[in-house]
């Protein structure tokens, strides 16, 4: 990436404050970081450090109290709800810890569903779903329903749903959290393969083993981005 090129994801001075019963909770404080196109970044830190809040802002599910958030050079922090939904559908793919598949839709229908909200003809939707299921090795389960699948298989379908729309960035929220170690490693391998094929990935995890799969790690502690030595010192002081 040239010095003049703007990162795919750019956050500057992001702050998030929640107000409940006149009490201010500062979930994020002065967060700065960037993700280049094609990078694989992990956001790591202990429980309650602000990872989920940060991912919600990255995924346009929430808005920051202050700060600038840009995707591919476009400011998105203050978009209207309808515009956030449009950008979210076209530019962001989500992989959730709880899979979030619809139980009474088939595997094929689950992967196709987000594409139906686009101006896309049936033939293109069919091609994209087929390609996405092939990527995750689930074409043979296309007519099955989520309750008929193992946890690892459901997460593969969730990954297929996320990549079918060819998003600018994949956001993975603790993607191994509901899986055993064998299936967790299989999902990590799948993310590695998607990254090798050109996907930009941002993964939230509290597990240092899985964070090591990423190219680099952004460490959060008490809502702030910290360097690794600082994180280790503050964690030691908190114990």
Which three-class secondary structure string do you get for 42-83?
EEECCCCCCHHHHHHHHCCCCCCCEEEEEECCEECCCCCHHH
Look at residue 230 in the predicted model and tell me its pLDDT. Answer: 46
Could you give all domains of the chain from N- to C-terminal order, each with its CATH number? Answer: 40-52+89-238 (3.40.50.300)
Torsion sign (Cα): 72, 43, 155, 102 = negative
Look at residue 47 in the predicted model and tell me its pLDDT. Answer: 85
**CA distance between the termini of the chain:** 41
CA 15 to chain centre: 19
CA atoms within 13 A on the CB side of 62: 17
Look at residue 219 in the predicted model and tell me its pLDDT. Answer: 92
Within 8 A by CB and 6+ apart from 176, the residues are: 155, 183, 184, 187, 188, 205, 207, 210
Q: pLDDT (tens digit, 9 = 90+) per residue, 70-89?
A: 999 999 988 999 999 999 99
Look at residue 228 in the predicted model and tell me its pLDDT. Answer: 57
Give the Cα separation of 196 and 39 in Å (integer).
10
**DSSP 3-state of 172:** strand
Look at residue 119 in the predicted model and tell me its pLDDT. Answer: 82
Look at residue 4 in the predicted model and tell me its pLDDT. Answer: 52
Give the Cα separation of 96 and 211 in Å (integer).
16
Q: Tens-digit pLDDT profile for the chain (239 aa)?
A: 444 578 999 999 999 999 887 788 899 999 998 999 999 999 998 888 999 899 999 999 999 999 999 999 999 988 999 999 999 999 999 999 899 999 999 999 999 999 998 888 999 999 999 999 999 999 999 999 999 999 999 999 999 999 999 999 999 999 998 899 899 999 999 999 999 999 999 999 888 889 999 999 999 999 999 975 444 444 445 54
């Amino acid at each position: 990436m040239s010095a003049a090129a703007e990162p795919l994801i750019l956050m500057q001075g992001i702050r998030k404050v929640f107000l409940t019963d006149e009490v201010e909770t500062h979930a994020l404080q002065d967060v700065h970081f960037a993700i280049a196109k094609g990078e694989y970044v992990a956001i790591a830190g202990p429980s309650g450090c602000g990872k989920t809040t940060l991912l919600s802002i990255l995924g346009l599910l929430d808005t920051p109290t202050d700060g600038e958030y840009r995707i591919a050079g476009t400011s998105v922090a203050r978009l209207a709800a309808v515009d956030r939904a449009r950008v979210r559908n076209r530019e962001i793919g989500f992989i959730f810890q709880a899979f979030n598949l619809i139980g009474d839709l088939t595997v094929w229908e689950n992967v196709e569903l987000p594409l139906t909200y686009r101006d896309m003809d049936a033939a293109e939707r069919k091609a994209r779903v087929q390609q996405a299921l092939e990527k995750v090795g689930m074409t043979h389960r296309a007519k099955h329903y989520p309750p008929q699948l193992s946890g690892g298989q459901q997460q593969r379908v969730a990954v297929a749903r996320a990549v079918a729309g060819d998003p600018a960035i994949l956001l993975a929220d603790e993607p191994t959290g509901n899986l055993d170690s064998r299936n967790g490693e299989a999902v990590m391998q799948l993310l590695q393969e998607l990254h090798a094929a050109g996907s930009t990935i941002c993964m939230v995890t509290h597990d240092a083993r899985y964070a090591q799969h990423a190219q680099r790690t952004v460490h959060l502690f008490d809502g702030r981005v910290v360097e690794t030595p600082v994180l280790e010192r503050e964690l030691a002081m908190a114990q």
